[in-house]
Chain A
Amino acid sequence: MYDYLISPFAEFEFMRRALAGALALALGGAPVGVFLMLRRMSLTGDAMAHAILPGAAVGFLFAGLNLFAMTAGGIAAGVTVAVGAGLIARSTGMKEDASLAAFYLVSLALGVLIVSLRGSNIDLLHVLFGTVLALDDATLLLIAAIATVSLFSLAVIWRPLVLECVDPNFLRSVSRSGAPTHLVFLALMVLNLVGGFHALGTLLAVGIMMLPAAAARFWVKELTAMIVLAIGLAMISGYLGLLLSYHSGAAAGPAIILVAGILYAGSVLLGPVGGLKRHFVPARHLEA
């Protein structure tokens, strides 16, 4: 048992680093994922992941596998798309999903065009699928810093953020913090996706945010509990995913996301809050 569950991490430093990275990602990303889900913005995260890809790729093409260049490129692309789409949605009649789609498609096309000009490169796979088993000090620090910033920022914007989700008209009537809150939240999403892509790749980074959040929805009804549970599920996914990858030799990033997917499937089946079990095996109704 010990050999199977603990020794991979006790013996190998790269596994410990991967675990630390996965836990930090869970801490920052899962709460953001819960809010994305509750605001019906689940696919926004996915679109943003696509938008970040070209930024990171451009950084990579100019500076190689340079942490700073790729991070800066990803953040620049992500923030441009998020803020641009948000501003257009708020100042015109266009819905945010449509303006986001317009922005991220342009960003993606631009990125692919730039990459194609420079020819293919096998290292680009790192950008696409991440390198969770090869996190160096700088990357680990970046991921931990992003988790810290995320938790602090969420604490700061908690009240207006919740209020904007439940009753945006009320928030608008008592305060002008709606727009800045929304922008800070979008920035947190971008930061976490950028942190995630170093470990899991641009396309899978959104998985560690959304899957645990969606799973948690099936177990608890209250917001704080939902966030705590989502963080826990994301951490378990990271741990089990790394174990799975270690023992089977499968790629680590997809393994983590697949474990999160299995937890999600289990929650859909068994979760007491609207899960399928309740649907197919209905319990007898209560008296009041």
Chain B
Amino acid sequence: MTAMTAALEFKNLTLGYDRHPAVHHLNGKVAEGTLLAVVGPNGAGKSTLLKGIVGALDPLEGEIDRNGEKREAIAYLPQLAEIDRSFPISVYDLVAMGLWRRAGLFGGIGRAQKESIEQAISVVGLDGFEARTIGTLSGGQMQRALFARLLLQDARLIVLDEPFAALDQNTIGDLSELITHWHGEGRTVITVLHDLELVRKRFPETLLLAREAVAWGKTPEVLTADNLAKARKMCEVFHPDAPVCEAAA
């Protein structure tokens, strides 16, 4: 790992809301091309860490080194609930948004790009759904459409927040196949997950988070009974009157 370049480096990173840390003094590197699962109990700071990585949340302390990559170049899939699915837009248009960085405000969508949109829709198994409005999709179909959009973003670093929440086995199988495929292409993928079986099966590296890194490394060494018990205990220590943290920077 040391010989490879780091796609991301956390340097004494503390992230949080209103001075209360949700991620506390995190240090470490994510090497280029890593397929990393981030696991931990609810409230462990997993989503917060992702928001920090994509630049949606500024650190309270420390920093994230993105190795010169612009935050706009990171493909980020937030949790599903944050999309307005009543908006009258077609699956095709939703997926086409993935071309934003290349097309921008006015850039034309040419023949090659139209083909890439159609191909992305086909890869996630939504052939024939192009003209449907997103309000008519099931949860699984919606997530497939969002994965098609991720495909078009063609990013070196892909960050996914609980992409498989409330999906059936078939959909999870297809979409995690895609993640594995991205890994094979040398992209860096960071995914928040709760299904430990899936993590053991498909993710070589894992970060077990409970505000601090409980363990970080090869998945079998991280997901031990001891570490998981420790993570549960360390979580949810929010205090309205917590003293100012004096830990060394």
Contact = CB atoms under 8 A, between A and B. Distances in A.
Contacts of B133: 221-222
Contact of B78 (A38, A160, A162, A169): A169
B182 interface: no
B89 A166 contact: yes
B83 A166 contact: yes
Contact of B84 (A160, A165, A176): A165
A223 B89 contact: yes
Contacts of A226: 88
A166 B56 contact: no
Given A163-B97, A173-B54, A221 B88 contact: yes
B71 A162 contact: no
A38 B97 contact: no
Nearest to B83: A167
Name, among B88, B89, B104, B153, the residue most crowded by chain A CB atoms within 10 Å (CB to CB): B88
B76 interface: yes
Nearest to A157: B105
Contact of B89 (A160, A162, A173): A162
A278 interface: no
A222 B87 contact: no
Interface in A1-47: 38
B94 interface: yes
Given A173-B76, A221-B88, A222-B133, A167 B82 contact: yes
Interface string A147-181: 00000000011011011011111101111110000
B208 interface: no
Interface in B72-116: 72, 74-76, 78, 82-84, 87-90, 93-94, 97, 100-101, 104-106
B108 to A, nearest CB: 12
A175 B82 contact: no
A166 B71 contact: no
- Using C-beta atoms within 8 Å of the partner chain, give the interface range for chain A: 20 to 34
A38 B88 contact: yes
A38 B88 CA distance: 8
A176 B72 CA distance: 8
Q: Choose among A166, A175, A177 the residue with the greatest number of B CB atoms under 10 Å from its CB.
A: A166
Contact of A174 (B72, B88, B134): B72
B101 A174 contact: yes
Contact of B72 (A163, A165, A166, A173): A173
Nearest to A273: B88
A223 B106 CA distance: 18
B47 to A, nearest CB: 11
Contacts of A163: 97, 100
A183 B172 CA distance: 40
Contact of A172 (B56, B97, B134): B56
A166 B84 contact: yes
Given A167-B83, A172-B56, A223 B88 contact: yes
Most buried by B among A163, A169, A176: A169
Contact of B71 (A159, A165, A173): A173
Nearest to A34: B88
A173 B56 contact: yes
Contacts of B94: 166
A222 B90 contact: yes
Contacts of A160: 105
A167 B56 contact: no
A153 B100 CA distance: 19
B205 to A, nearest CB: 23
Contact of A167 (B54, B84, B101): B84
9 contacts: A166-B87, A169-B82, A170-B78, A173-B56, A173-B71, A173-B76, A221-B88, A222-B133, A223-B87
Interface of B: 54-56, 71-72, 74-76, 78, 82-84, 87-90, 93-94, 97, 100-101, 104-106, 133-135, 149, 153
